[in-house]
């Protein structure tokens, strides 16, 4: 009988690689926790309407990539393709915006699902850490989030990423630009599907990666030439604040991001070591999203960073994270009496906060020492009948190879002192 395999386009995270993923999540979350962001967790699936309204009817995510299904009870649900709409829905439902302390600052970590064509760095199930600051319109908030993401990446040792920045305008100036862009695009030689986009969301055409489309886009009207004074001033402030903190960025007038809800500030973190899928994360301001999903006006800003993509970026730069060993002490009992004594010692070490493991399955000395080696433990404690008769165990330093007899009663204290 054939064994089951993970579904196409997905992956399993297994030790030892999974330790790197955990460390990346931790590194991204640390600056957020330090800046007033509280943790939020939402269901893996939501009402399909939340995404079609929030993310946008015309986006690839909604039209082609969403896992949508009907439940036995007749509900139309979808696996979440992104995090922002769910987090905003949860905040609105719990009335967090009415508690008086705006912005509501939240961070999250989880798996997201899109029916994509699988390739390196692009999977059907992927993991992200994200942050949202809900209910305040302030350039300092946009700057804070960009700076925190930059800090997270630098703390991991990444250096070769770039930050692309743009402004998408607001409901005053964007419609004027949109009309100008539609006029320009209608004069081009585009396929049927792309032409349909012109009516629904023309900005997405700018994001088309095909060469024949990009060539025709030369001379297209630029959004920055249409920004109203308020949007220009806002964008200038964001730029000044991040520059003052030493965070380098590049102006990218073509950056639109693949979701309909963005307004004003929009940004992307890219890494040139990743090939075609160069974005490692991104985000922006989404002042109209709350109203789109039936809430009050709550100007907000946020980002999501891909954990898988960040790991690929670390590999591309040859950065290895300094990960603590999963096990510090490995116990090898030889005989029944030793099993009883050492099992108690391992439990005691664990209670004292020391990572300890045990040779299970009654292996002989040779097999057990192989396991001790593989565990990465710094110390091995070995005991046989003769050792116990003398009231000692053998403590071996796996780095120096030195071994000495230590009294059974003193072993926990000795290990605490050495690992302290």
**Going edge to edge, which strands form the sheet with 104-113?**
38-39, 104-113, 125-134, 300-306, 279-285, 263-271, 161-167, 250-251
Residue 367 resides in a domain? yes
Instruction: Tell me how far apart the alpha carbons of residues 83 and 51 are, in angstroms, rounded to a whole number.
Output: 10
Q: Of 291, 316, 341, which closes a domain?
A: 316
Instruction: Tell me how far apart the alpha carbons of residues 337 and 197 are, in angstroms, rounded to a whole number.
Output: 75
> Would you place residue 238 in the very low, low, confident or very high pLDDT band (cuts 50, 70, 90)?
very high
Other beta carbons within 10 Å of 141: 23
* 150 and 245 both lie in a single domain: yes
pLDDT at residue 211, rounded to an integer: 87
* 363 and 309 both lie in a single domain: no
Instruction: Tell me how far apart the alpha carbons of residues 237 and 233 are, in angstroms, rounded to a whole number.
Output: 6
pLDDT at residue 11, rounded to an integer: 92
Residue 400 resides in a domain? yes
DSSP state of 124: S
* 275 and 369 both lie in a single domain: no
Question: Who has greater pLDDT, 70 or 187?
Answer: 70
pTM for the whole structure: 0.90
CATH number at residue 107: 3.30.930.10
* 21 and 164 both lie in a single domain: yes
Residue 23 resides in a domain? yes
* 34 and 181 both lie in a single domain: no
121 φ/ψ angles, rounded to the nearest 5 degrees:
85, 0
Write out 48-98 in H/E/C secondary structure: HHHHHHHCCCCCHHHHHHCCEEECCCCCEEEECCCCHHHHHHHHHHCCHHH
Residues forming a β-bridge with 266: 166, 284
> 153-180 pLDDT, tens per residue?
999 999 999 999 999 999 889 889 989 9
* 184 and 243 both lie in a single domain: no
**Which of 107, 155, 94, 53 lies closest to 302 in space, CA to CA?**
107
Residue 9 resides in a domain? no
Beta strands 403-407 and 392-397, pairing class? antiparallel
* 337 and 404 both lie in a single domain: yes
* Structural domain boundaries enclosing 208: 174-226
* 150 and 252 both lie in a single domain: yes
* 32 and 48 both lie in a single domain: yes
> Would you place residue 36 in the very low, low, confident or very high pLDDT band (cuts 50, 70, 90)?
very high
pLDDT at residue 67, rounded to an integer: 95
Instruction: Tell me how far apart the alpha carbons of residues 36 and 18 are, in angstroms, rounded to a whole number.
Output: 28
* 82 and 135 both lie in a single domain: yes
pLDDT at residue 121, rounded to an integer: 72
Q: Of 257, 292, 316, which closes a domain?
A: 316
Q: Into how many domains does the chain fold?
A: 3
> 120-138 pLDDT, tens per residue?
778 999 999 999 999 999 9
């Amino acid at each position: 009988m054939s064994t089951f395999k993970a579904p196409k386009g997905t992956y399993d995270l297994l030790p030892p690689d999974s330790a790197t993923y955990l460390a990346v999540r931790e590194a991204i979350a640390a600056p957020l926790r330090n800046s007033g962001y509280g943790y939020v967790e939402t269901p893996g699936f939501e009402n399909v309407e939340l995404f079609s309204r929030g993310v946008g009817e015309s986006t690839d995510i909604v039209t082609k990539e969403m896992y949508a299904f009907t439940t036995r009870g007749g509900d139309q649900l979808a696996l979440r393709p992104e995090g922002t709409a769910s987090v905003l829905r949860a905040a609105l439902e719990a009335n967090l915006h009415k508690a008086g302390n705006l912005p509501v600052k939240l961070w999250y970590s989880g798996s997201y699902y899109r029916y994509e064509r699988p390739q390196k760095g692009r999977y059907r199930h992927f993991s992200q850490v994200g942050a949202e600051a809900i209910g305040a319109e302030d350039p300092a908030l946009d700057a804070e989030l960009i700076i925190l993401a930059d800090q997270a990446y630098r703390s991991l040792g990444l250096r070769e990423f770039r930050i692309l920045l743009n402004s998408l305008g607001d409901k005053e100036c964007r419609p004027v630009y949109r009309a100008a862009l539609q006029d320009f695009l209608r004069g081009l030689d585009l396929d049927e599907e792309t032409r349909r986009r012109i009516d629904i969301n023309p900005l997405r055409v700018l994001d088309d990666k095909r060469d024949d489309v990009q060539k025709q886009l030369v001379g297209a009207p630029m959004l920055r030439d249409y920004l109203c004074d308020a949007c220009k001033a806002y964008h200038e402030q964001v730029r000044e604040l991040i520059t003052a903190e030493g965070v380098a960025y590049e102006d990218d007038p073509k950056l639109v991001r693949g979701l309909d809800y963005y307004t004003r500030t929009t940004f992307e973190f890219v890494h040139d070591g990743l090939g075609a899928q160069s974005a490692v994360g991104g985000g922006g301001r989404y002042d109209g999203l709350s109203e789109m999903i039936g809430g009050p006006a709550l100007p907000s800003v946020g980002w999501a960073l891909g954990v898988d993509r960040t790991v690929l970026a670390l590999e591309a730069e040859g950065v290895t994270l300094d990960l603590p060993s999963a096990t510090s002490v490995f116990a090898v009992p030889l005989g029944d009496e030793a099993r009883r004594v050492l099992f108690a010692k391992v439990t005691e070490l664990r209670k004292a906060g020391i990572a300890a493991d045990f040779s299970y399955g009654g292996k002989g000395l040779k097999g057990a020492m192989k396991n001790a080696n593989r565990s990465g433990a710094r110390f091995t404690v070995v005991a046989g009948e003769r050792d116990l008769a003398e009231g000692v165990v053998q403590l071996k330093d796996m780095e120096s190879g030195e071994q000495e007899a230590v009294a059974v009663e003193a072993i926990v204290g000795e290990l605490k002192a050495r690992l302290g």
